[in-house]
Structure 1
């Protein structure tokens, strides 16, 4: 007889299934932005020296991430359904049993989901617009042609796939700066500057021989080759960005769903908040933050916060209020439990 998976293995397996969905939704949203962008509009604005107009023409708006919002909603609901299983069934005098079901349209749940997803999409969109704004300004300052600058933003079409590749749409502002740094180093022609590229871990190492040749001969790397190398670097960073968002926000949405589900049960009188507790579970390996390893197994009341060794306070793993240092790529998860012995104290 097959053994029933532990709660830890069950939740981990569920999260492993949900995470790729969010990553795919994020990448699909970027493909949609790039496929519908008006390159001519960006170029026209750049020729008019209108950076803000060019940023608007890039069409990076919250509505472009509707697939991400839908996926976040699904993950949120999955977390709520998991927590709902912990709420005890209520048996009436006539012997009928009422089973609690999480309603994602419950006012408290809907408000929590709307606020969380709105903040997430706004944060992603605003950061990308800032990255585009800086990149456009750099292109103008360095005297690049408007068309080249625009293509550096949205990427160049691969004639085989028909998709735009490279570009900085989707990257964070710091990541876009890394791409610009890569491009400047490749264009420098200075052996000492070129050597610094080998310290950029996300570079495409298939181009290392080309860089070594330029260092040894003192020759210039052709402009077309520079764009290819910068594009591959940008694509690598974009994959990292997608993985980071998926890992971080899957955990956050799932745990927020658990919180919303228990709050609904409390509001409906299915369970008392006094006997609901939250347990922090961490993955005990070298990748886990020491502050989270110390929290492993910690139990707090439903309305209480977990407090890390750094003093950060989180309602659940992935709580944005804890700050990026405690949240980004967190793999911890929260378990809600009903402590029936609490009422006996």
Structure 2
């Protein structure tokens, strides 16, 4: 399977993962009430507020990650030389179960931390701006749309930095300062349909009205939530798929194939979209289990890998792939010992 085919498989998993994230956020909001959120903000009960708005276990997303892992392995087994026999991933093997358990636990912890940070930013920014507990509760959970009857425009589900973007945007809109209003108009994820409203305020040297600012900031929050969900989906699809591919070769080693028989090469898309820290990695070769090194010094066993400390800046929206090769002399020499399905 070539690089383009692998990327198509990964991209095909992304919409369902993004939807699973957004559905979980929607379920969280459906279970909460504005009156309760307002009361907890007024009481400054941050712990209880975090419990009320806890985003849950993301069961659907976690199952999709498991499926992505298995899909990656299934895609790779066809590349194993036939001389080694038919290959099949044993998802119940210790190595596979260990990766899935650790990865899912880490992801859940990170998303819970992001949620706490996002809530804290929205509440503290709102209080600092003199907003009432009721207004802040609506900033968190969103306001009811007349079109759909559902809440939209809340910051629940956003990490702290994205929640800060929303708070800053609202401050800019309400400032009445031409310079601050111009800064709002540079925000990439803003809804440009509201730009004429902002331009009128800018020309008049007046703030955007409170109700209009809430509408504009809410739409901005919705777009940031979509962006965040897509980023999670792209990152998780790539990492789970890549980890499944890598696991196929680890199982071959567990069955007796010498580790030195397997090499892997880093392949970029070789276009202008390749991030700077990956551009120089094209053709970088490593033995199985050894990490690749980015230009910035981050270590990844395969594209998307965060297990060795690489952050979002090295993994989000990455389109690179690893290419695995079993040296021909080893494939012939060890074929007799390795025939049979991996079990």
- Name the TM-score, length of structure 1 as normaliser: 0.89
Kept after mapping to 1: 8 A contact 2:158/2:228:
yes
Given candidates 195, 204, 209, the residue that maps to 2:191 is 204
Mind listing any 5+ residue stretches in structure 1 that lack a counterpart? Answer: 1-5, 92-97
- For residues 130-178 of structure 1, give each alpha carbon's deviation from its aligned partner in whole angstroms, at most 9, with x where no partner exists: 1101211222333322121111011112232232211111212111101
Match of 1:250 in 2: 237
Contact 1:60 1:129 in 2 (8 A): no
- Cα offset for 1:324? 3.1
Q: Secondary structure at the match of 2:59?
A: helix
Match of 1:70 in 2: 63
- Which has the higher relative contact order, 1 or 2, with Cα contacts under 8 A spaced 6 or more apart? 2
| 2:73–2:89 Cα contact (<8 Å) kept | yes
Matched, 1:85 2:81: no
Residue 44 (1) aligns with residue 39 (2)? yes
* Distance change >3 Å, CA 121–CA 316, structure 1 → 2: same
Supply the RMSD in Å over aligned alpha carbons.
2.1
Given the alignment, which residue of 282, 296, 302 partners 2:288?
A: 302
Q: Aligned residue for 2:248?
A: 261
| 1:180 lines up with 2:173 in the alignment | no
Aligned in 2, Cα 1:343/1:49: closer, same or farther, shift over 3 Å? closer
Q: Does 1:54 align with 2:42?
A: no
Out of 44-53 and 182-191, give the one that drifted further: 44-53
Residue among 98, 102, 107 paired with 1:115: 102
Q: Distance in 1 between matches of 2:235 and 2:201?
A: 40
Moved more, 27-36 or 230-239: 27-36
Question: Is 2:314 aligned against 1:326?
Answer: yes
Query: What number of residue pairs does the alignment pair up?
Result: 331
**Rounded Cα–Cα distance in structure 2 between residues aligned with 1:149 and 1:143:** 10
| 1:89 Cα deviation from its structure 2 partner | 4.6
Structure 1 residues 145 and 12: alpha-carbon distance in aligned structure 2, compared to 1, 3 A threshold: same
Question: Would the aligned equivalents of 1:127 and 1:172 in 2 still touch at CA under 8 Å?
Answer: yes
Greater shift after overlay, 27-36 or 231-240? 27-36
If the length of structure 2 is used for normalisation, what is the TM-score?
Answer: 0.90
Please list every run of 5 or more consecutive structure 2 residues that lacks an aligned counterpart in the other structure.
334-343
